[in-house]
Amino acid sequence: MMCGRHSSIRNPLSAVLVLVLATGGWWVTAGDGDARAADDSARAVAICCAWGNKLADGVLTYSVTGGDPTVLSILRGAVEAWDDALPDLTMTEVTKKADISIVFGPGAADGGESPGGSGARGLTTTYLNGRRLVLRVEIGIDGGPAPVNAGAMDQIAKHEVGHALGLGHANWEGDLMSPLVNPAPAPIPACDVNAVIQANSWRMVDHARRPKPASATSTSC
């Protein structure tokens, strides 16, 4: 089952490039062999882009809105998990004009395909300038009531925040950034963390002041 789509749209009225990444469901591993790529050396996580000037101080702001307090707590936890995994990034919650805005509710992820068995899906829209540097990100997450859906919501939220931080999809089943998300809560994989660092290496590796586009299109795992 394919759960998601990729598209890029250039706005003819501006130089902003809009990248849309959607996730529409989850998968469950039947056994270790089912999640293993045929050639482990070919495993990779795609890199979409790097953050621009907003990341110069090492801080990105985010906002979380929606009508279910339990889900909002899960979404904040997903952001905090990425924050904890990235020493050179601080993610700070604000109430408006956030670098990354996260909205939960019916229709928030309408750009995705039909929901999977979990009834949960996500949609990330990334706004880029002409140098493919991120200007801001909007995340929409739609799903059934918590806490029944807690595992799926947690993993889909982490997946979408991964997109917001510069990642595309993994090319094998079982990774957090796989197009199909495993609903079982799990830590963010080290390879995905490294991919974010590589995507934003101008700040997280070189500690430079001037933003630079990502120098690679993927990170090997």
Along the 221 residues of the chain, how does pLDDT read in single tens digits? 223 333 332 333 344 556 666 554 443 333 323 333 334 559 999 999 999 999 999 999 999 999 889 889 999 999 999 999 999 999 999 998 999 999 998 888 875 444 444 467 889 999 999 888 999 999 999 876 666 678 888 999 999 999 999 999 999 999 999 988 888 888 999 999 999 999 999 999 999 999 999 999 999 99
Tokens of 174: 């079982």
The whole-angstrom separation of Cα 117 and Cα 192 is 25
**Of 217, 212, 189, nearest in space to 200 by CA:** 212
Q: Is 216 helix (H, G, I), strand (E, B) or coil?
A: coil
Instruction: Tell me how many degrees the CA angle 105-106-110 measures, rounded to the nearest 5.
Output: 110
pLDDT confidence of residue 32:
29
Output the CA angle 101-106-109, nearest 5 degrees. 55
Beta-strand ranges (E) seen in the chain are 6-10, 17-23, 44-47, 50-51, 59-65, 90-93, 100-104, 121-128, 133-142, 167-170, 218-220
Give the ranges where the chain is alpha helix by DSSP (H): 69-85, 150-164, 190-199, 201-204
> Are 170 and 46 a contacting pair, CB within 8 Å?
yes
Please name each of the domains of the chain with its CATH number: 6-26+42-220 (3.40.390.10)
- Nearest C-alpha neighbor of 116 from the set 9, 28, 201, 177: 28
